[in-house]
Structure 1
Amino acid sequence: MQQRSENTERFQIDRLQQAAFGYFLEHSDPVTGLIADTALAGAPASIAATGFGLSCYPIGVERGWLSRGDAARRVVATLRFLAQSPQSRHRQATGYRGFYYHFLDMRNGERAWQSELSTVDTALLIAGVLTASAYFCRDDAVEGEIRALADRLYARVDWRWALNRGDTLTMGWRPPGRFLKHRWRGYSEALLLYMLALGAPEHAIEPEHYAAYAEGHDWIPVEGRPHLHAAPLFIHLFPQAWLDLRGLADRPMRERGTDYFENTRRAIQLQRDHARSNPGHFAGYGEHLWGLSACHAPRGRLRLRDGRQQRLFGYVNRGAPYGPDDGTLVPWAPLACLPFEPEAAQASLVHMAKSYPELLNEGRFPGGFNPSLDGGGPEGWIDARVVGLDQGLVVMMIENWRSGLVWTLMRGIPAIRLGLQRAGFDDGWLRQGEGARGNPPASSAKG
């Protein structure tokens, strides 16, 4: 009976991973290769979602959902477009100095929504470019072009310019020539940004800039041990969708006797503890229903199903501890946490399948839901958005749990190793000398 239950759970995870992967087939432009921010009609492309998609195509090949040739053609179309699209100070350009605007028109790549030239979203894009380049390593014309274009795109990003004469990287820039006032200082998803900027073949920043970023970390005590705090889950998860940080520690982590992987496990535990204690008395919260992160929700004071009035925050970085919480949860959290807490994640998936059967949208989890609101069913309010970033994170984290494919690919990229080393990381696979650029065989996938 236990074996049957395990097989059922594995089948459910297989289906969820394949459905999430399908987002990138259904919501990409056939000419530009750009991927939509959400599944809503008319949504612009997100360069971050495009980066996730580029990382997911190799997974689709390994799982048999897409042929290698089809995947390579999708990747090369995207990289050609990125390489050839306008890079200038013009307000409608696709990018500038190797960076890209956060949102782009799906069909022509022009800047959308007056968005910023985003440093961190460009990093997510470049991470996807490098993942695809590492996977498509065969000696043929298309895969050779993928590698050449990837090298070109990475080399032209002017990371030093994004410092704007400061000690940390800026969050972005707006035309015709104004940097955003905020900088990436303190623990955030920009951990990946700094690794790419430190290891870059051109325009690399110096280790002193990473040290300045790390000086802003917020350490809190948890059960007598130091924890690097970030309330929203995505901050812990996004960099580790690509970076295998098991056993790796930089100076701040070494001084406290821990590493980023274990720190993420504690962050998940803190979220589960918050859901169990449920200080806001929200519906559904408990051991098997948790997950606070950045997501959309209604905004304003609304009546909950128990009669209370509750302020809803709209789009905000929800989190625990010390983060805003209005009863809105991200249902993709357990899937994204599988590499860190597989038993808790699988138990949560079983619970959600039984208790909230209407959550899935074409087999995919929405951006968020709030069971405390009266929506006609136990799910309460369900976000109409299916979000590209969420789907990519789900596909990649399931695969890292199953086979470690993305982690293996990234370990083999010299720039990733260099970036980690220049940031002061040591131990783990860095100490063991693992990683050789190449394509893991299909047999490497488990389950």
Structure 2
Amino acid sequence: MKNNYLLLLAICLIICTVSVSFAQNTATQRPKKLTDDELLELVQKQTFRYFWDFGHPVSGMARERSNVAFEYGGEVVTTGGTGFGLMAIIIAAERKWITREQAAERVLKIVNFLWKADSFHGVFPHWLNGETGKVIRFSQKDDGGDLVETSFLFQGLICARQYFTADTPTETQLRNKILWMWEGVEWNWHTQGGQNVLYWHWSPNNGWSMNHQIRGWNECLITYVLAASSPKFSIEPNVYHQGWTASTHFRNEREFYGIKLPLGFDYGGPLFFSHYSFLGLDPRGLKDNYADYWQQNLNHTLINRAHCLENPKKYKGYGKNSWGLTASDSHVGYAAHSPAEDLGVITPTAALSAFPYTPEYSMEALKHFYFDLGDKLWSEYGFIDAFSEHHNWYAKSHLAIDQGPIIVMIENHRTGLIWKLFMSSPDVKRGLDKLGFTYTGKVESNKAQKK
């Protein structure tokens, strides 16, 4: 009897091992014969696994990263990354990778968790404990509301409210709760007593002591747009015109590699500046007194790529098929990679999230990452976070804020789905109008792509 039991146990272990191995192989298999459209679909679907399979089991929210590093614990979930993940869930439902009912249930799970989680004047912290909903401080004094991460979160929540319009108990409940949370965000509280600028952080323990004003140009345009769009706690236009635009690195108007950069740091800074605010905010024909935002993002991308082609530091692996500098992990820790801070690290999300701006160049990079370097870059959650052929370093990590834009911006390139949803919000339309934006939803010219 004992021998029979041991034999049965051994068989079970073998079956389990084979099953796990098969699941892993299935998750990371890399088909070689794919059309361009099939490749885009595969990359989106595989990357979506990060938010669906690896989403926190209690809250459903996006984990900060796939590896436990930099003293992060396994319970750390990210509010901004969850906003990106919500858009990914919508895309998954629309493309039928999951059912609409599954998507709505997961979104409601996240919404119900946020409903009870720590917030401060309606503003969520950067990190939450995914099991308890309690704030996990991001730094010594950053233990309260984070207005920028909250704007990334609500960019996704607004899209969810615009998408899940069915008259069912689940979709009705998620719409109502999103609306109530949206109405409760006290954006104007973050003017610190009526100043003409928004402040990034406020904490019940530390007040305004971080004293970080949100001034451009960077990833935070969406914060001002949503603050102006708020139905109950809106900012006045002067907060945008005298706060966001009042910095030494807002206007640029100089040329780099023969390409004019309207706004921002010299050489444009990391490419996530052209991604995070524009997952929902449609830059096509979006203009105000300061810039044409399509041209801004296009030229920023082209400068970033041109730097990789010029490759002034002669890093191994850079070229027309391998480009893209943005914030990510690196061989020396997390870094905001850009032409001005070039450590020889290519981050796939940089080129892939640029698909709407530079589709031909982004496809060249995608094919190289997948077909040529896929043995080292492809994983169960899509592409690894970053790599450096020069330093023979390949990340073992994925980050929510890097994976999310890949799915969303490829979809905006393919169908414009998330742009259509976000820009259809009456509150967003009102906020853009209040700040003096005009919007057509059409690209006037993409000639710079041919340079």
TM value normalised by structure 2:
0.83
- State the alpha-carbon separation in 2 of the partners of residues 54 and 398 from structure 1: 15
After TM superposition, give the deviation of residue 215 of structure 1 in Å. 2.7
- State the alpha-carbon separation in 1 of the partners of residues 384 and 199 from structure 2: 31
The answer to whether the 8 A contact 1:275-1:286 is kept is yes
Alignment of 1:37-436 (within 5 A): 37-41=64-68, 42=74, 44-85=76-117, 94-115=118-139, 116=142, 117-165=145-193, 166-179=195-208, 180-212=210-242, 213-216=244-247, 217-222=250-255, 223=258, 225-229=260-264, 230-253=268-291, 259-299=292-332, 314-320=333-339, 323-357=340-374, 358-373=376-391, 380-429=392-441
**Residue 376 of structure 1 corresponds to which residue in structure 2?**
none
- State the alpha-carbon separation in 2 of the partners of residues 125 and 111 from structure 1: 15
The answer to whether the 8 A contact 2:76-2:128 is kept is yes
Cα deviations by residue, 1:249-304 (Å, 9 ceiling, x for unpaired): 01112xxxxx11121111111011101111111111112211111112233xxxxx
The answer to whether the 8 A contact 2:261-2:299 is kept is no
The answer to whether the 8 A contact 2:107-2:174 is kept is yes
2:59 corresponds to which of 10, 32, 35? 32
The answer to whether the 8 A contact 2:75-2:131 is kept is no
SS of residue in 1 equivalent to 2:275: helix
- State the alpha-carbon separation in 2 of the partners of residues 78 and 67 from structure 1: 17
Cα deviations by residue, 1:23-59 (Å, 9 ceiling, x for unpaired): 1111223432222011125251001111111111111
Identity of aligned residues (%): 30
- State the alpha-carbon separation in 1 of the partners of residues 273 and 38 from structure 2: 29
**Residue 8 of structure 2 corresponds to which residue in structure 1?**
none
- State the alpha-carbon separation in 1 of the partners of residues 189 and 345 from structure 2: 38
- State the alpha-carbon separation in 1 of the partners of residues 259 and 85 from structure 2: 40
- State the alpha-carbon separation in 1 of the partners of residues 261 and 170 from structure 2: 48
- State the alpha-carbon separation in 2 of the partners of residues 341 and 34 from structure 1: 31
CA RMSD of aligned residues (A): 1.8
- State the alpha-carbon separation in 2 of the partners of residues 371 and 224 from structure 1: 28
**Residue 29 of structure 2 corresponds to which residue in structure 1?**
none
- State the alpha-carbon separation in 2 of the partners of residues 363 and 10 from structure 1: 19
Residues 351 and 96 of structure 1: CA distance in aligned 2, closer, same or farther (over 3 Å): same
Cα deviations by residue, 1:57-113 (Å, 9 ceiling, x for unpaired): 11111111111111111111111121123xxxxxxxx22111111111111111124
After TM superposition, give the deviation of residue 316 of structure 1 in Å. 2.2
SS of residue in 2 equivalent to 1:204: coil
Residues 226 and 114 of structure 1: CA distance in aligned 2, closer, same or farther (over 3 Å): closer
- State the alpha-carbon separation in 1 of the partners of residues 240 and 438 from structure 2: 15
The answer to whether the 8 A contact 1:16-1:363 is kept is no
The answer to whether the 8 A contact 2:79-2:124 is kept is yes
Which residue identity is paired with 2:306?
D
After TM superposition, give the deviation of residue 225 of structure 1 in Å. 4.2
SS of residue in 2 equivalent to 1:242: coil
Which residue identity is paired with 1:83?
W
Q: Which moved more, 1:49-58 or 1:170-179?
A: 170-179
Which residue identity is paired with 1:157?
V
Which residue identity is paired with 2:122?
G
After TM superposition, what 4+ stretches of structure 1 lie above 4 angstroms from structure 2? none
- State the alpha-carbon separation in 1 of the partners of residues 229 and 383 from structure 2: 35
Unaligned runs of 5+ in 1: 86-93, 254-258, 300-313, 374-379, 431-447
SS of residue in 1 equivalent to 2:202: strand
After TM superposition, give the deviation of residue 331 of structure 1 in Å. 1.5
The answer to whether the 8 A contact 2:378-2:384 is kept is yes
TM value normalised by structure 1:
0.84
SS of residue in 1 equivalent to 2:135: coil
- Kindly tell me the number of residue pairs found equivalent between the two proteins: 391
Cα deviations by residue, 1:116-151 (Å, 9 ceiling, x for unpaired): 321100101111111111100011211111111111
After TM superposition, give the deviation of residue 7 of structure 1 in Å. 5.4
